[in-house]
Chain A
Amino acid sequence: MHGFCRDRRDKILVNFSNGCNPQGLIIVHSRFSPRLGRRSNNKIMEETLRLARKHGPVVQLVQNLVRKRDFYAGGLIIMFGLLMALKGPSYRVGTLMHMGPGFLPTALGIILIFLGILIAGTALTVPEGEDESILPEHPEWLGWACILTGPLCFILFGSFFGLIPGIFACVFVSALGDRTATWKSSFVLAAVVTAFGVGLFSYLLQVPMPLLAWRGL
C-alpha cells in the first residue's frame, strides 16, 4: 500500500509504502489529520491505515476529483449546458421537421452537459499534473483589476466627457497594472497615446465621438 497523510496546510506528514494493497494511492483528507495528533510515526501510520480502510475508496475518489483542474472545467461546461438545456425549451422546441427557435439551444445544451461530464470524468483517469491550481502561481490581482478597469473607464469617461478623457483614463488606469509602472510613467504613456489616438481616430478615421463634452452625471 502506498499512502500519505496530509496536515491542514497540505504538508505531507507521513509517507509510507508497502506492497499489500492493490488499491494504490490513498490520500487521507486533511480533516482527519488533527485527530492523529502528535503520536509516534508508527501510531500515525496505523491510524492512517485504519482511516484509509474505512473511508478509503470514497475519500480517494472525491480527493482525486477536487484536486483536479479538469473537474472544475467540466463543472463550468455542465453549468453552461444546464443553462441552455433549461432555458432552451422556453423558446418552443418544435419538431424535427419544423424546428422552433428552441431546438438547437436545447440540443446543444444536452451535448454540453454530456461533454462536461466527460471532461470531469476523465480527470479521474489521469494522474495529478504539476499545475492543478486554477489561480496562477502569483495572482496578479492589481494587474487584472487595472486591465478590466481600463475599458470600463473608457465607457464611463467616454460617454460622459468625450474621447480625450476616455482615452486618457483608459490608458492611465491600465498602465498602472504593471509592477514597474509609476504614476509618472503611466501619465506620460497615457498622454502620448491620447495624442496619437485623437489624431488617428478622430481626424483620420472620423469616429463619431466628441473630443470633449459635458453630459453631466
Chain B
Amino acid sequence: MITTALTDLWYGFGVALQPHNLMWCFIGVLVGNMVGVLPGMGPLATISILLPLTFGIKPVGAILMLAGVMYGAQYGGAICSILLNLPCHPPHAVTCLDGFPMTKQGKGGVALGLTVMASFVGASWGITEMIFLSPVLVQVALQFGPAEICSLMLLGLLAGSTLARGSPLKGVAMTVLGLMLGIVGTDLETGAERFTFGFTHLDDGIELVGLALGLFGIAEFMNSINQVVSINTKYTKVRLRDMRPSKADIKQAIAPMFRGTMVGSLCALIPGTGPTIASFVAYATEKKISKHPEKFGTGLIEGVISPEASTHSSVQGDFIPTMSLGIPGDAVMALLLGALMIQGIVPGPQLIKEHPDIFWGLVASFWIGNIILVLLNVPLIGIWVKLLTIPYKYLYPSALFFVSIGVYAANNDMFQVGETVVIGILGYVLLRLGFHPAPILLGFVLGPRFEENFRRAMLISRGDIGVFVERPISAVFIALCVLLIATQIYVRIRGNKNVIAPATAFEVAE
C-alpha cells in the first residue's frame, strides 16, 4: 500500500511541477497569503472572487490555485494575529492570546519564525494523513448505495452545522435554508421550475459565486464598515534577523508543535470540526497539561505554537472527506467542491480513480505550496507587515468592484450582480439576528446531490423510509446523527457551564 501511495505521489509531483500548474499554485498561495494578512478580507470571499476567473483554465490548475488561497491565508492570518492582536481570521483568534503579548515583549519576530516552522510541520502531517487515509476511505465509500450516501450527507450537514460557531439550532436552520436555496431553479428530473418567481434568469439556479460573495462579501462589508479599529503599527517592524528563534525557544516549541499537530489531525477526521475548533482545542489541551497554566496569556510559546500547528494540520486534513467522499466539512471546502463541479467534475469516491491528476496533483501541490509559503514568509516578512497597514476604507470599495465583476464574469450576466446584492442584504440581516451564514453554503452545495440520492434511494426501496436504518452502514451514520443531536441537547440542558474552552476563548478573543 505504501509503495502504491508513493508511486501515486510521484505522479502527483509530476502534475504539480508542470510549469503552468506550478504558476497557478504560486499565484494561489501568494494571493492567499496576501488576503490572510489584510484585515477584513477572508479566504472565503477571495476564493469566490477568483472562482469565475478560473473557468478558463484547466480543472487541475484551477483547484491548485483555489486550494492555495485557502492554506496560504492561514499563514497570513497568523501574522495579523501575532503582530496586531486582530483576530481577523477565526482559526487564528486564539493565537492572539499569547502571540500579541510576545510581540509586546519584543519577541514578535521569534513568534512568527516559530509559527512558520510549526505551520509547515502541521501541514506536512496533514498531507501525509491525506495520502494514506484517502485511498482507504475511497475503498469503503465505493460500496455505498444511494441510501448510504444520503445518510452520510445528512451526517455531514448536521455535523457541519451543529459543531460550528454559534447556536446549533440556528446552524441547522441555516443548513436547511441552504438546501432550500439549492432547490431554486429547474428540477433536474422533472424539469419543473421551482421558486424562480417568474425570473428566467433563475432557471439555472442561484449562482454559487453570487451566493458566496453575497454572504461573505457584501454582508461582511456591511458588518465591518466603520467598525475596523485603527491599526496599531507600533509593533510591526519585524526584520528577518528577528525571526530566528534561539535554541532554547526551539526546544520549548517542539513538544507543543507535535501535540498541536495531533489535535489538528484528529479534528480534521471529525466532520464539521474545522481549523477554528482545532486551534481552540489545541490551546485548551496545552493549558490543561501545562505545569503553569496561569502563565497562559502572558506570551507563552506553547500558546502560539500548538494552535498554529493544529490549524494547519486540520486545514490539510479537511481535504480528506472533501476529496475522497465528496462531503465538505466547512464552507471553504464546499466552495472548492463547487469549483470542481463547475468544471464538470463529479465529486465523490470515484474522483481519485477518474481524475488522479486532480487528486494527486493537489496533494503534491500542498507540499510545494507550503514550501513556497515558508520561502515567501521568512525573507519577505517586511512586505507582509507593510500590507497590514492598508486601511479598510481603501480595501472594501476595491473588493466590492471585484465582487461585482467576479459575479458578472461567471456567466456574463448582470442579473446575478443584483442577485448578489439581495443575498448580501439577507446575509446581513441573518448576521444581525445571530446566525452564522457559513452552513448555508454547505447546504447549497450538497442540496442537489442530496435530493437526487434521496429520490433514488426511495425508488429502490419502493418508498420504504426504513431503508436508512436497515442497511448496516447507513444505520451507523444515522446512529451518529442521533448521537450528535443527543449530545447537543444534553449540553443544552446541562447548561453552558460545561461547554469547553472554545466558547470562553472566543469571548476573550473577540
Chain A positions within 8 Å of B, measured between CB atoms, are 69-70, 72-73, 76-77, 80, 84, 87, 91-92, 95-102, 104-105, 108-109, 111-112, 115-116, 118-119, 122, 134-136, 138, 140, 143-144, 147-148, 150-152, 154-155, 158-159, 166-167, 170-172, 174-175, 177-181, 185-186, 189-190, 193, 197, 201, 205, 207-209
Q: How far is the CB of B369 from chain A (nearest CB, A)?
A: 23
| Alpha-carbon separation in the docked complex, A69 to B430 (Å) | 11
| Alpha-carbon separation in the docked complex, A104 to B394 (Å) | 44
The interface residues of chain B lying within 8 Å CB-to-CB of A108 are: 176, 179-180, 183
B487 at the interface (CB under 8 A from A): no
| Alpha-carbon separation in the docked complex, A151 to B213 (Å) | 12
Could you give 13 example pairs across A and B, Cβ below 8 Å? Answer: A69-B434, A77-B173, A97-B462, A101-B187, A111-B176, A115-B173, A138-B226, A143-B222, A152-B421, A155-B417, A177-B397, A178-B396, A197-B401
B53 at the interface (CB under 8 A from A): yes
B194 and A105 contacting across the interface, CB-CB below 8 Å: yes
With A104-B451, A178-B226 as known contacts, state yes or no: A193 contacts B429, CB within 8 Å: no
Number of chain B interface residues as a range: 35 or more
Q: How far is the CB of B8 from chain A (nearest CB, A)?
A: 34
B403 and A151 contacting across the interface, CB-CB below 8 Å: yes
The interface residues of chain A lying within 8 Å CB-to-CB of B479 are: none
| Alpha-carbon separation in the docked complex, A197 to B397 (Å) | 12
Q: How far is the CB of B466 from chain A (nearest CB, A)?
A: 11
B432 and A80 contacting across the interface, CB-CB below 8 Å: no
Q: How far is the CB of A213 from chain B (nearest CB, A)?
A: 13
The residue from B172, B418, B454, B464 contacting A115, defined by CB atoms under 8 A apart: B172
Q: How far is the CB of B64 from chain A (nearest CB, A)?
A: 18
The residue from B53, B222, B420, B433 contacting A144, defined by CB atoms under 8 A apart: B222
| Alpha-carbon separation in the docked complex, A205 to B49 (Å) | 13
Q: How far is the CB of B440 from chain A (nearest CB, A)?
A: 12
A-B residue pair count with CB separations less than 8 angstroms:
184
Which one of B108-116, B246-254, B278-286, B404-412 contacts A? B404-412
A sample of 4 more A-B contacts (CB under 8 A), given A144-B428, A147-B222, A148-B222, is: A73-B435, A84-B195, A97-B459, A189-B394
Mark B458-472 against chain A: 1 for CB-CB distance below 8 A, else 0: 110011110000000
Q: Give 8 closest A-B pairs by Cβ, nearest first.
A: A97-B463, A96-B463, A178-B393, A143-B225, A101-B192, A175-B397, A73-B433, A154-B404
The interface residues of chain A lying within 8 Å CB-to-CB of B465 are: 96
The residue from B226, B392, B400, B408 contacting A150, defined by CB atoms under 8 A apart: B400
| Alpha-carbon separation in the docked complex, A178 to B394 (Å) | 9
The interface residues of chain A lying within 8 Å CB-to-CB of B408 are: 154, 158, 207, 209
B449 at the interface (CB under 8 A from A): no
Interface centre among B226, B392, B397 (most CB of A within 10 A): B397
B294 at the interface (CB under 8 A from A): no
Chain B positions within 8 Å of A, measured between CB atoms, are 53, 56, 167, 169-170, 172-173, 176-177, 179-180, 183, 187, 189-190, 192, 194-195, 218, 221-222, 225-226, 392-394, 396-398, 400-401, 403-405, 408-409, 412, 414, 417-418, 420-421, 424-425, 428-430, 432-435, 451, 454-455, 458-459, 462-465
The interface residues of chain B lying within 8 Å CB-to-CB of A99 are: 454-455, 458
The interface residues of chain A lying within 8 Å CB-to-CB of B56 are: 205
With A101-B189, A104-B454 as known contacts, state yes or no: A207 contacts B405, CB within 8 Å: yes
Closest to B451 in A: A104
With A73-B433, A73-B435, A151-B404 as known contacts, state yes or no: A177 contacts B225, CB within 8 Å: yes
The residue from A73, A148, A175, A178 contacting B170, defined by CB atoms under 8 A apart: A73
| Alpha-carbon separation in the docked complex, A119 to B400 (Å) | 33
A80 and B180 contacting across the interface, CB-CB below 8 Å: yes
The interface residues of chain B lying within 8 Å CB-to-CB of A80 are: 177, 180
The interface residues of chain B lying within 8 Å CB-to-CB of A208 are: 412
With A73-B433, A122-B169 as known contacts, state yes or no: A147 contacts B218, CB within 8 Å: yes
The residue from B226, B397, B428, B459 contacting A190, defined by CB atoms under 8 A apart: B397
The interface residues of chain B lying within 8 Å CB-to-CB of A189 are: 394, 397-398
| Alpha-carbon separation in the docked complex, A179 to B341 (Å) | 41
B459 and A98 contacting across the interface, CB-CB below 8 Å: yes
Closest to A87 in B: B195
With A69-B433, A97-B463, A181-B393 as known contacts, state yes or no: A155 contacts B425, CB within 8 Å: no
The interface residues of chain A lying within 8 Å CB-to-CB of B417 are: 151, 154-155
Q: How far is the CB of B61 from chain A (nearest CB, A)?
A: 14
B458 and A100 contacting across the interface, CB-CB below 8 Å: no
Closest to B186 in A: A101
Q: How far is the CB of A122 from chain B (nearest CB, A)?
A: 7
Closest to A175 in B: B397
With A151-B218, A178-B226 as known contacts, state yes or no: A201 contacts B405, CB within 8 Å: yes
